[in-house]
Amino acid sequence: DTGVSQDPRHKITKRGQNVTFRCDPISEHNRLYWYRQTLGQGPEFLTYFQNEAQLEKSRLLSDRFSAERPKGSFSTLEIQRTEQGDSAMYLCASSPPRGTGYTFGSGTRLTVV
């Protein structure tokens, strides 16, 4: 297992387009998290899955954002009708059931032009 993988690493899109990001967590980890980070800030929580169930969503996650984790394995984060304010690094992390720290992926950097 090579850790948490995120794809793509970079995405440039025009305002109004839809984008989808993928995260492959560590296979033994049942917990998966999405965070968003802008320059000079710490990661902000977006949503949390335990297995395939989405248990928590931040108020930051507007109705343009949706996340799924079918079969409790990989996860996707979709942003519809992107806005310039969506430009950020989108980070995925996973952890075991009673884990210690999170293992983060390298992130997907989204630029909306």
Partner 1 sequence: SQKIEQNSEALNIQEGKTATLTCNYTNYSPAYLQWYRQDPGRGPVFLLLIRENEKEKRKERLKVTFDTTLKQSLFHITASQPADSATYLCALPNNNAGNMLTFGGGTRLMVKP
The residues binding partner 1 (CB under 8 A) are 4, 33, 35, 40-45, 48, 50, 55-56, 91, 93, 100-107, 109
Residues sharing a CB contact under 8 Å with residue 102, sequence separation 6 or more, in sequence order: 33, 93, 94, 95
We find the least distance from the C-beta atom of residue 93 to partner 1, in angstroms, to be 7
Least CB distance to partner 1 at residue 70 (A): 21
Q: Could you give the C-alpha distances from 27 to 35, 45, 96, 97, 103, in angstroms and in order?
A: 19, 22, 9, 12, 12
Tell me whether residue 43 or residue 79 sits nearer to partner 1 (CB atom): 43
